[in-house]
Structure 1
Amino acid sequence: MAVPPVPQARAAVPVRAVRVPMLVDVVIGLLTVVALPLAVVAIPNTISVVAALLPPGVSQVEMIRAHGLALPAMLVTVPIAAMAVRRFRAAPILVAGLTLLALADAAGGYTETVALVGVLRVLHGIGAGMLVPATLAAVAERPRHRVLLPLWAGALAASLLSAQALALWAIRDVSSWRVTLQPYPLLTGVALALAAAYLVLWMVTGGAGAADAEGERQVLPLRRPTSAERGRLGLAVVPATVIAALGVGVTFDWPPLLVVAAAALATVAMLALAAFGAFEGQGGRTLALVNVAVGLVVLPTAAQMTYIELGGPLGGPGLLGLWVPFLVAGLAALAAAVVAGRAPETSATRLTALGLAAMVGGLCAIRLLVPAPSGTPLMVPFVLLAAGAAVALVGAFRLAGLGSALLGLSLCFPAVLAGFLLGTGIQVNRLREAAGSALAGKDGGNALVKGFVDALHMWALVGGFVVVGVIVLSSVLARRSAAATSAGQVVIPLPTPSPEGDDAGPQEPDTVR
């Protein structure tokens, strides 16, 4: 009598359920550590460093303005890409974003005009803006093994810290200004190959994600996006567009005090949106507030520190002396994120506060240790900023779902631009005061040097107060949320459709007041 080959059929299942998902996780991990730095390194405007190499007759001011279009384009793209990954999933968005970056890199070697530079930098910004939410969504689609999410958070924190140095490193000792338009083309090609491999694996597994792993809890709760979530992600486009327009407008010689006032108003508006416009309860609010704090502080602060420590009249260690502090800080961010990811979930709130407090400590260390004649003392502020940001992000991510995480990213990069505007306004104001002192014969030739350092110290003070304000605001909102819960909030398990369709079964309980 013929017997159906049941044992053989069962033996084939574990190969698909274990080996293929493991390979997908490896590809996503590699893609994360390559694509995130590529995305963030598109932000710095470094054309002024190689302005002497520009062709005769090209306006340096217009070229700087065109080169600076990447960040405004990026922060407008992030919320749109966040909606796209909720609709089409992460794999195709990653391939599309890296393809745009690769095309812009390839065309960068042939550009001649300011207008074409502006177009290519907008493409850089759009591609980078697609990568950040897509990598997070790719991580969220995997089972919760407490590795990929900390890896993503640590890579983002390290990328924000080192973006300015990486952008400057790519153009050291160059003979053409076009290198600013294609800083790391080989790395872009590697990332594109990894994204293509991920797309193939995703298609082979039928788009299987975290919901397919039995007994595993997801890194970020995956649900089919609701109309409220889509509405809030769409609403995030508005402040992003306003701040992007502000970033372009200030390049037309706005007074520094007006720049500071406009950037401060934008920061307050983002904090208000994070505090009262986020969804998924207190977890969503905390995550949005943390993203604003991290975006506002880490990259703008590290950029000022990098310029001050490049040598010259300030006598810093230069880029060669900075790579060790940046490397140590990047490794510390990854290690701290992994530790935070393995901590009990009940400690997520404390981890978030601890990470933000570490960032405040890093800003205080800047006032004590910068400028430094060597790179060794700079490890302290670098490590505190990067590791603190990574821990705060991991702790906050564990309190909310993917929708809130994407909304937080939609506020993070507008906060980066707001931080740059605040820092630049403070710096220009200090340098004008220093120039006046130099003309009056006060402080001799050290007036401008002192102006740069004073501007950094003032910015560190402002950033520290903002982060402390985020800690206090998060605590107050958490207490109000707990009081509302104890006053009679009812939790009812509702069958929420999964992202795979309406028939995939119930997901995590929703909260009904």
Structure 2
Amino acid sequence: MPQRVRALAVDVVRLARRPIVTDAVVGMLIAVALPLAIVSIPNTISQVAALLPPGVSQIDMMRAHGLALPVMLLTVPLAAVAVRRFKAAPVLVLGLAMLAAADAGGGYADGPVLVGVLRVVHGVGAGLLIPATLVAAGERRARRGLLALWAGMLAVSLVTAQALALWPIDNVRSWAVTLQPFPLLTGVALSLAAVYLVLWRLAWETTAAATDRLLISTPPGSAERSRLLMAAVPSAGIAVLAVGTTYDWPSGLVVAVAGLALAAMLGLAVSAATSGARTLGFTCVAVGLVVLPTAAQVTYVEMPWLGGPGLDAMAWPLVVAVIGALGAAVVAGRAAEEKSAKLVGAGLVVLVVGLCAIRLLVPTVDGLLLAVPFVLIAAGAAVALVSALRLAGPVAALFGLTLLFPAMLAGFLLGTGIQVTWLRSAAPSGMATYQGMVDGFVEALHVWALVGGFGVVLVLGLSALSARRGNRVAAAEEPKVVVPAPTPSPEALAEGDESDR
């Protein structure tokens, strides 16, 4: 009997060491962990304000609940350094354990202080998951398909995050659900991360795995570490300013802060070391700026309290968007690598078309027409991201990723500033009617879609100029090869002398 058990254990270890097993676990982990990380971003406490305990300030609770995104964008650059030094598997387990702990603590929250602490834990855990899942995909031999899955899942998570965050709190009796929206899914993801950690340790102990590690799994050098940490400095400033805007700042000042944040992210994208990293940096700025902020506004406009059909009517359009984005990511990931630069531009152009579709089709009565802008936005973002990742390579990808979430926060600030301005214009006397409020939200969405579209076009133009300048610099720095003139033979010299005579 012991021999059979030993033989079975040996067979299990051999099976576990097969790359296809770990690839499958990493794929499932990406599909579960990325949506969990992104769904931590939306601030949904205002939707359950009537359920808050007596005497608790709704404004304080909203400020506390909104800490997840500022903390998350601060964590991503630091996690990008940590995941290179400590590897992806332990960081994934730590990030998901923090999300699980925050979910468990949500049932004990009784005021803004504890809510703020739990949302900080949410932000740190989610910030660890984003670069860790990317590195886990890049370390595998099937990284081409896994990176396409990662880009597609990130795009669909950004499009669906607001709806997924609102779904669990529909007709609930406790406001604490906003702090623990999907505890079962978090447990599943944590179990997958634990399995991946065991598989990684088994593979790490073999000589073949130790010699076949990719560049992304080597400890970061000082130059790379400095470049990654450099993104944390403006991110910290943007996070502080974003928290400050919740204290009744004028809408014009909020828009100015958002513009400053966007300029800082574009400046960091320009400073990237390689052309591939610059392209990915610009792509992450564009995707972060418009995708989730736009999807959030569309979701709110389609809610019943503004006359929309509600979440149930949005389910099928979102499902179609998920399928379309994942399919587009797979196709882009299989395309020839020399086409990647054109596919990045094509993806961002499709994203702009999706923003134009919002101006034409939203609001809608039955919700089915939402499939058009959702599919265009999700598929365009997925194609641009996977193509830019292929250009950047695994190491530079981490730097580009640090720009996505600060740009997202800038997008939320811009959208909020525009929304406040239009809502105030809809009620100049301070007494807003219901229809005036609805019109204000819709007009603000349309203006934001226009601003976001021009923002993506601006990023496209800057990316093209940066690429052209990089090509000129590379051509100027290319060493010129001087071919010496051929030395004439003695016979030719002799013939020349005779002709001269």
Tell me the residue number matched to 1:418. Answer: 410
Match of 2:151 among 150, 153, 160: 153
Superposition map of 1:112-191 within 5 A: 112-144=110-142, 146-191=144-189
Match of 1:37 among 35, 38, 41: 35
Tell me the residue number matched to 2:490. Answer: none
Tell me the residue number matched to 2:474. Answer: 485
Tell me the residue number matched to 1:471. Answer: 460
Task: Report the CA distance shift for 1:362/1:490 in structure 2 as closer, same or farther (over 3 A).
Answer: farther
1:455 partner amino acid: A
Superposition map of 1:501-512 within 5 A: none
1-side partners of 2:449 and 2:151: how far apart?
Answer: 23
Task: Report the CA distance shift for 1:404/1:328 in structure 2 as closer, same or farther (over 3 A).
Answer: same
1:123 partner amino acid: V
1:207 shift after superposition: 6.8
Tell me the residue number matched to 1:511. Answer: none
Contact 1:144 1:210 in 2 (8 A): no
Contact 1:98 1:192 in 2 (8 A): yes
2:400 partner amino acid: G
- Extract unaligned runs of 5+ from structure 1: 1-11, 492-513
2:102 partner amino acid: A
| Bigger CA radius of gyration | 2
TM-score normalised over the length of structure 1: 0.88
Contact 2:17 2:199 in 1 (8 A): no
Q: Please state which structure has a larger fraction of its residues in helix.
A: 2
Tell me the residue number matched to 1:494. Answer: none
Tell me the residue number matched to 2:498. Answer: none
Tell me the residue number matched to 1:255. Answer: 250
Superposition map of 1:12-23 within 5 A: 20-23=18-21
Tell me the residue number matched to 1:293. Answer: 286
Match of 2:361 among 358, 364, 369: 369
Superposition map of 1:446-461 within 5 A: 446-461=435-450
Tell me the residue number matched to 1:79. Answer: 77
Task: Report the CA distance shift for 1:373/1:339 in structure 2 as closer, same or farther (over 3 A).
Answer: same
2:87 partner amino acid: R
Aligned sequence identity (%): 62
Tell me the residue number matched to 1:495. Answer: none
Superposition map of 1:228-377 within 5 A: 228-275=223-270, 277-279=271-273, 281-313=274-306, 315-377=307-369
Contact 1:147 1:341 in 2 (8 A): yes
Tell me the residue number matched to 2:68. Answer: 70
Task: Report the CA distance shift for 1:387/1:208 in structure 2 as closer, same or farther (over 3 A).
Answer: farther
2-side partners of 1:118 and 1:439: how far apart?
Answer: 33
Aligned length: 470
SS at match of 1:392: helix
1-side partners of 2:155 and 2:71: how far apart?
Answer: 21
Tell me the residue number matched to 1:504. Answer: none
2-side partners of 1:252 and 1:106: how far apart?
Answer: 30
2:297 partner amino acid: Q
CA offsets per residue over residues 60-111 of structure 1, 9 Å max, x none?
1111111111111111011111100011110000000000111111111112
Task: Report the CA distance shift for 1:183/1:142 in structure 2 as closer, same or farther (over 3 A).
Answer: same
Contact 2:325 2:382 in 1 (8 A): yes
Contact 2:98 2:125 in 1 (8 A): yes
TM-score normalised over the length of structure 2: 0.90
1:78 partner amino acid: V
1:330 partner amino acid: V
Task: Report the CA distance shift for 1:187/1:424 in structure 2 as closer, same or farther (over 3 A).
Answer: same
CA offsets per residue over residues 325-344 of structure 1, 9 Å max, x none?
11110111110000000000
CA offsets per residue over residues 373-411 of structure 1, 9 Å max, x none?
122111111011100000000110011122321111111
2:455 partner amino acid: V
1:226 shift after superposition: 2.3
2-side partners of 1:137 and 1:150: how far apart?
Answer: 13
2-side partners of 1:145 and 1:17: how far apart?
Answer: 20
CA offsets per residue over residues 330-376 of structure 1, 9 Å max, x none?
11111000000000000000010000000000011111111111221
Task: Report the CA distance shift for 1:490/1:352 in structure 2 as closer, same or farther (over 3 A).
Answer: farther
Contact 2:76 2:127 in 1 (8 A): yes
Task: Report the CA distance shift for 1:54/1:232 in structure 2 as closer, same or farther (over 3 A).
Answer: same
1-side partners of 2:431 and 2:61: how far apart?
Answer: 30
Task: Report the CA distance shift for 1:207/1:378 in structure 2 as closer, same or farther (over 3 A).
Answer: farther
Superposition map of 1:430-445 within 5 A: 430-436=422-428
1-side partners of 2:421 and 2:301: how far apart?
Answer: 17
SS at match of 2:53: coil
1-side partners of 2:471 and 2:205: how far apart?
Answer: 38
SS at match of 2:144: coil
